[in-house]
Structure 1
């Protein structure tokens, strides 16, 4: 039986795996709870258990398997990134993405190489190879940052596409520079090196596209059963990566990225399920790789750096990154604010550290002594950019007006009177709200009330292009169509989180014949009413009300003043909106805002009846008795 620790004083490999998983996933969960950048916490956790405490030493525990493990993890991460690159999501950002790749990439390579040579003091050989890798901005970092920052669609698309496409491009740029260095150092024929590079890129492209087409065809024609689609996809992915990498190192990254892009744009009916599983796997891999890379960095390697390393990092952040991006996006339709946001957002991630370490060792083997500084420089650059952008991207985006929503908003499906009154109450709580409906006429009351609306199917491609879903944290399905409510709630639950999707009670919900499993539909609201019951309640002189608790006026006083009110949601001082479960009491805290529904106040009733009477007279019905919202004659 394996002991808890080996003779070397480090953890058993099984315990090491468990520790990496616990730190990675735990760090992401804590970051979600505290609203902190997840990458920063994972980086800190890896440094603490690695160089600081010496508990985790990846090289000692995993040995020769460490580099293949990281390489395969990076390949899967890039494949998942390719799965997100649906050409429909580009829309008006397409020109900007092309320029960032074809113009910004080469310019970034040149600027990075100059910074490495003139600022960090590396030789031109090391600078050329490392500069190619530095154009990689890293989907492993961009994805968590975008999830947290909630950027507007176009700058988010620019950053995401640039990160994923430039990852294999940067690796191949390093391969090209390395082959040139090999020619210069070993006097190998330049023609042979170029031939090898062209063959490797050609085979990688052919393998990636062929594998993507083959998987899409097999899935569409039912050649693979549903339960085997993900395992088959994994096996093909690993095969494509290994075959391509055996021809030309790092070309496997290009192959798997192209494979993912093809599948993303193949229109597969089961694509959503495939992508969600891959997304979950990527969360595990990103966290694990970051922990391993941080834990594997020793203080001895970092100590070979001097003050010029800090100046180099500053030069990259302030010059080598922004200048090529601004030049690439010049004369495009991208607004200046978005250009500045993209230019000054360049976090580096896993691929940079992994590939830099690999080529640093190979250059050192050729006799280039300063190549030993490449890996520490890469780690310092990753750490600095991750911490910087992790804490500044959200406020920077808000300052430029490019955040999809600073406060967690609410998206309401259905333009009924109940929905409009609820939206007006939520706006009083200073929350962004939108009402969506497939019927233009049903949105009239919402438009008259000044509530933002979307006309169309919320599941359509038009909604993907026009609705900033990132701006909304909660979804309330409240249309008059129960099956449609259930469909939308079920489809968007993974995007919003199942705990944030709610639905009005279905008419036949109590019948065992029509009962649905827990996996379908949304959660019930505190007041379990059907569409008809909810709107009848509003028509029956009930209203939504927002109350704020204070030191003198607490929950007990609120209940005494509003004995018939039913609390639906609460908004804490920190801005977190929480819809209450049936029977759940709101929190009794100072500054807590309570959204409730109850009988309308007397002044509200009289005001509504006066408006109805005036409207009746304007319509030429002045001789008829006005009708109150209850349906009887109005008084007063």
Structure 2
């Protein structure tokens, strides 16, 4: 107890946290691309761990056996630093990250599993709207076509490989599984729902699900309640265009969604006034369309002039 309250202990703790750790980080990142704020943050979040405690205990006991003066202080001092840095970093890391502005912005990136024609057209639109889009597919031809369009695409077998090994998922907020294989779509959504959350993983309806009454279809996690893989790719083949139609009110949206069932048009997103893209939910009535500034994003034949158009290269 006397050792813990000795001012020299706190001085040693301060030297480790405020001098030695920052100095080591600055030297090791001298030619890196990290800015000063990032280096300061890394310097701060440097808790000592079990390795330091284990080594200190071993050497402390050995030195005590050799009769070295002061050896009995090594182990408690190291444990003081371990506990102190863990508690200090755990309680201050988040506020410091916000203060230094080193936190990631909102995760608006989109990971699309499947690089088929419809996926490529949708990805082109998303990328043109400043979204970070990554497509993954086991088919090298699909991946090559996506890359030729300037899209980020990787050849990955989602059954055999983990996406985290190939893709930085920190800025990816949503996953859309839109392969031709319903089992693959289900597998991917189930595997990564803990990463993206149940509200961040979406898949296509299977042909069997398309046949059942809409009331009995899944209430969430579906990308397009109106069309399946076959419909999406037929429209993408015949009319690989994506358009934005300004909405006046919720009634107009409801009418359009019903009309699109009979036309060669597929509704994809609701674009908010601030540019945010919302996947159309099963019941879009809660969206504040009446406030103005919203648009319906759809693929297929244009309903009006001046639409934005995205096609395969």
Post-superposition CA distance 1:392-427 (Å, at most 9, x none): 35x336xxxxx5x75511111111111111112222
The 1:578/1:490 distance shift into structure 2, 3 A limit, reads same
TM-score normalized by the length of structure 2: 0.64
Matched, 1:444 2:144: yes
RMSD: 4.5
Post-superposition CA distance 1:56-82 (Å, at most 9, x none): xxxxxxxxxxxxxxxxxxxxxxxxxxx
Instruction: Tell me which of 102, 105, 108 is aligned to 1:396.
Output: 102
TM-score normalized by the length of structure 1: 0.34
The 1:541/1:378 distance shift into structure 2, 3 A limit, reads closer
Say which structure is richer in strand: 2
1:497 corresponds to? 197
2:236 corresponds to? 538
Matched, 1:123 2:7: yes
Distance 1:568 1:587 in 2: 17
1:270 corresponds to? none
The 1:324/1:534 distance shift into structure 2, 3 A limit, reads same
Local SS of the residue matching 2:202: strand
Instruction: Tell me which of 590, 595, 599 is aligned to 2:301.
Output: 599
2:206 corresponds to? 506
Report which of the two structures shows the higher radius of gyration computed on alpha carbons: 1
Distance 1:125 1:582 in 2: 61
Matched, 1:344 2:50: no
Q: CA deviation at 1:381?
A: 6.0
Instruction: Tell me which of 572, 587, 592 is aligned to 2:288.
Output: 587
The total of aligned residue pairs comes to: 260
Q: CA deviation at 1:469?
A: 1.5
List gaps (5 residues or longer) in structure 1: 1-121, 136-315, 352-373, 398-402, 616-636
Distance 1:573 1:347 in 2: 39
1:430 corresponds to? 130
Post-superposition CA distance 1:497-554 (Å, at most 9, x none): 1111111112334689xxxx98xxx8222334221122112234364323456xxx56
Local SS of the residue matching 2:199: helix
Say which structure is richer in helix: 1
Q: CA deviation at 1:601?
A: 5.2
List gaps (5 residues or longer) in structure 2: 1-5, 50-80
Contact 2:173–2:200 (CA<8 Å) still a contact in 1? Answer: yes
Contact 2:205–2:225 (CA<8 Å) still a contact in 1? Answer: no
Distance 2:131 2:255 in 1: 27
Matched, 1:475 2:182: no
Contact 2:226–2:266 (CA<8 Å) still a contact in 1? Answer: no
Distance 1:493 1:387 in 2: 25
Distance 2:211 2:252 in 1: 39
